[in-house]
Amino acid sequence: MNSENRIYLKEIDQNFLSQLREIDCACLGSFWSLETYQREIDNPNSLVLGLVTEDHELLGFGCLWSILEEAHITMLAVRPEYQGQGLGRAIVWGLLKKSRDRNLEWATLEVRVSNQAAIALYKSFGFQEIGRRPNYYEVTGEDALLLWCKGLHTQEFATLLENWHDEISVKLLAKGWNL
Ligand SMILES: CC(C)(COP(=O)(O)OP(=O)(O)OC[C@H]1O[C@@H](n2cnc3c(N)ncnc32)[C@H](O)[C@@H]1OP(=O)(O)O)[C@@H](O)C(=O)NCCC(=O)NCCS
C-alpha cells in the first residue's frame, strides 16, 4: 500500500473551502455558496466531515446539523471520479459515528425520490422511509423522501457501527484506500 492511499475522516476547516465548492458544483450543480460552507464550518451545531488524503485532497464530504437529539444530514457528495468505490459509505458511517459521539439519538434526511444510489446507500445503514415531501426541490419540483435511522445511542447501534467499519475498511482496501 502506498502512503498516498491513506485516507482520513476529519472535521473540515476553512482550508478546504474551495474544494467543498468544487465538489458541490460537480455533484450538486452549485447547491451551497462559499459563504454557506463557511457558516457551516463556523457553526458549533453543524458538522462538516470530509474524507481527505495525506496530500489534503478532499475526496468527498458530508454535513449535518445537530438539533436537540436529532442529527439532520444536510449534504453528502463524493467527487465524481471517485464514486462507486465505497467512499460515500465511509462518509455516512463517519456522520453516524460523530452523531453517536455527540449523544444524538436519531438521524434524518431528505433525498430526491429519483436518487436511487443515495437511497440504497442510506438504507444499507438501516434508514427507513417515514414520509414524502411533495415538490420539495424548487427547480425540478421533484418530491423528497424523508428517511430516518433511530437508536443511534443504543449498544446495538455501537456494535453495528463497529461491524460496518470493518466491512467498509475491507472494501476500501480492495480499491486501494487505507482508511
Ligand atoms: C450518493 C453518493 C455520495 C454515493 O457515493 P459513492 O462513493 O459513489 O457510494 P459508495 O461507493 O460508497 O456506494 C455505497 C452504496 O450506495 C449504493 N450505490 C452507489 N452508487 C450506486 C449506483 N450508481 N446505483 C445504485 N446504487 C448505488 C449502493 O448500495 C452502494 O453499495 P454497494 O457498493 O455495496 O452496492 C455519490 O453518488 C454522489 O456524490 N452523488 C451526487 C450527490 C448526491 O446525490 N448526494 C446525495 C444527496 S442526499
| Under 8 Å between Cβ of 8 and 25 | no
Cell numbers for 21, please give them: 465548492
> Has residue 11 got a pLDDT over 60?
yes
Distances (CA, A) of 45 to 41, 144, 171: 9, 24, 32
Domains of the chain: 3-174 (3.40.630.30)
74 ligand 1 Cβ < 6 A:
no
**Closest residue (by CA) to atom 31 of ligand 1?**
121
78 in contact with ligand 1, CB cutoff 6 A: yes
Whether the CB of 29 sits within 6 Å of ligand 1 = no
Locate 133 and state its grid cell.
415531501
Percent helix, strand, coil in the chain, to 5, is 40, 30, 30
Percent of the chain with pLDDT over 90: 95
Q: Which atom of ligand 1 is nearest to the CA of 115?
A: 44
- Nearest ligand 1 atom, CA 110: 48
Q: How many angstroms is it from 117 CA to the middle of ligand 1? A: 4
pLDDT for residue 131: 97
Amino acid residing at 171: K
Q: What residue's CA is closest to ligand 1, atom 15?
A: 121
Q: What is the pLDDT of residues 94-150, one digit of tens each?
A: 999 999 999 999 999 999 999 999 999 999 999 999 999 999 998 889 999 999 999
Largest CA distance in the chain: 48
